[in-house]
């Protein structure tokens, strides 16, 4: 028998985080959007205290990778009891983004940098770099630096370099990274780190790319710009320059001697793309619920189960919005569950990200449209949710790139065969 019931542990986390989103995040959502580049200290301190107290442990304990000797299972293969780390995190991210996506991204958290360490790092690296997110005295952030002025979706075009100094056994990084989420917080404002992608051998293409953990305040790493953005304005997005930046030999993620570093780095996205999708779902759900609330407040009533030809235009729109949110959640939860079960989820992770980014952008746009002048004004948060939603179709691989990944997996083709 197929059951769509949410595991009790996941439901409990959702309920807990929803209370936090309602009681704290919604209160600061508009202020944070209007005061870009100003940190909401109450929110940061609240989340840091919860993290250190263990209440948000699932947020830093998720995105775990299998041990190196574990072989990815295929769906249907006999599996051990599943620990719902990724599914719990997806549920928590949805609720946090229902509260406010910008504040969620700005919370002291390991971020994509920590996710990269969890997915591709050794056990020693996980212990060294991730432990600080629950033990440090002050808030800590992590970031990942991939995008460059000349290399966005095409990671093979990365021009940042990493050369090994044979005398000191240090990596020397040179290059520029842009659009680094929480880059300033990780580099200048905390004892955090940035995971930077760089090439050890430009001629080798993707095979030459490795990821390196660069600690906060490392000489040669400098924040040069903090972006002004359309949405998620509570979160800082920075440009970072590496100029003869020396990194310890052991800070290259994974085994330095393994040449296939790019595959390990890309494994990060199999874990994080469902989380980006979950964030989008939270935004879309917020917009949908507010539209439904205002529709009913003004005398409307959704008539489920009747002939579609008898529905009003508003009813059809609201029901389609609801179906898009629910479909997106099921796809996302499947990808997260597969990661928890040790099943290879590269296809499902990209499916959830591609579908959700497009669907929730439509949902929030439709919400603003349905409410008209009210939706377009700052009287409601709907216009903000529309601005916040769009980024989910862009970062962590654009919708077009994730669609391309899906096509490659379905047809069994490589990047050289299908571009």
Which residues form the catalytic set? 396
Which contacts (CB < 8 Å, 24+ apart) does range 3-8 have? 6/91, 7/84, 7/87
Distances in whole angstroms, Cα of residue 190 to Cα of each of 126, 143, 170, 215, 234: 18, 12, 23, 10, 17
Which residue spans within 182-326 are E strands per DSSP?
193-199, 209-215, 221-226, 237-248
Contact partners, residue 339, CB within 8 Å, separation at least 6: 86, 270, 271, 274, 345, 349
Alpha-carbon span 341 to 326, nearest angstrom: 22
Three-state SS at 301: coil
Cα-flanking dihedrals φ and ψ of residue 400, to 5°?
A: -65, -40
CB atoms within 10 A of CB 49: 13
For the record, the structure tokens of 9 come out as 């542990």
Three-state SS at 316: helix
Three-state SS at 380: coil
> CA 321, 326, 330: angle at the middle one, nearest 5?
150
For the record, the structure tokens of 106 come out as 């700005």
CB atoms within 10 A of CB 57: 15
């Amino acid at each position: 028998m197929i059951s769509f019931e949410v595991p009790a542990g996941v439901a409990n986390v959702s309920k807990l985080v929803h209370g936090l989103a309602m009681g704290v995040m919604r209160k600061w959502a508009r202020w944070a959007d209007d005061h870009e580049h100003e940190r909401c200290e109450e929110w940061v301190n609240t989340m840091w205290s919860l993290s250190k107290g263990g209440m948000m442990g699932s947020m830093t304990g998720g995105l775990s990778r299998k041990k190196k000797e574990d072989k990815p299972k295929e769906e249907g293969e006999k599996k051990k009891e599943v620990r719902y780390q990724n599914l719990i995190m997806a549920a928590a991210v949805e609720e946090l983004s229902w509260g406010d996506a910008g504040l969620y991204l700005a919370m002291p958290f390991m971020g994509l940098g920590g996710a990269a360490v969890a997915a591709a790092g050794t056990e020693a690296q996980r212990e060294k770099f991730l432990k600080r997110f629950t033990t440090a005295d002050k808030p800590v952030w992590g970031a990942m630096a991939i995008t460059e002025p000349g290399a966005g979706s095409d990671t093979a075009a990365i021009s940042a370099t990493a050369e090994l100094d044979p005398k000191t056994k240090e990596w020397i990084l040179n290059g520029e990274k842009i659009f680094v989420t929480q880059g300033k917080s990780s580099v200048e404002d905390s004892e955090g780190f940035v995971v930077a992608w760089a090439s050890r051998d430009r001629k080798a293409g993707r095979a030459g790319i490795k990821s390196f953990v660069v600690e906060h305040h490392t000489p040669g790493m400098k924040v040069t710009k903090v972006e002004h953005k359309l949405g998620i304005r509570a979160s800082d997005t920075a440009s970072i320059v590496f100029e003869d930046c020396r990194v310890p030999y052991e800070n290259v993620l994974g085994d330095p001697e393994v040449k296939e570093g790019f595959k390990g780095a890309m494994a990060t996205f199999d874990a994080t793309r469902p989380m980006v999708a979950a964030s989008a779902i939270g935004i879309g759900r917020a917009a949908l619920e507010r539209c439904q609330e205002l529709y009913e407040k003004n005398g409307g009533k959704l008539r489920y189960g009747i002939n579609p030809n008898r529905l009003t235009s508003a009813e059809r729109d609201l029901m389609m919005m609801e179906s898009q949110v629910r479909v997106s959640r099921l796809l996302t939860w499947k990808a997260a569950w597969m990661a928890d079960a040790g099943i290879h989820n590269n296809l499902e992770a990209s499916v959830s990200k591609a579908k959700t980014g497009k669907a929730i952008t439509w949902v929030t746009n439709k919400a603003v449209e349905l409410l008209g002048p009210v939706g377009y004004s700052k009287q409601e948060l709907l216009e903000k949710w529309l601005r916040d939603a769009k980024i989910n179709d862009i970062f962590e691989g654009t919708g077009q790139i994730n669609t391309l990944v899906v096509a490659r997996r379905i047809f069994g083709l490589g990047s050289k065969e299908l571009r």
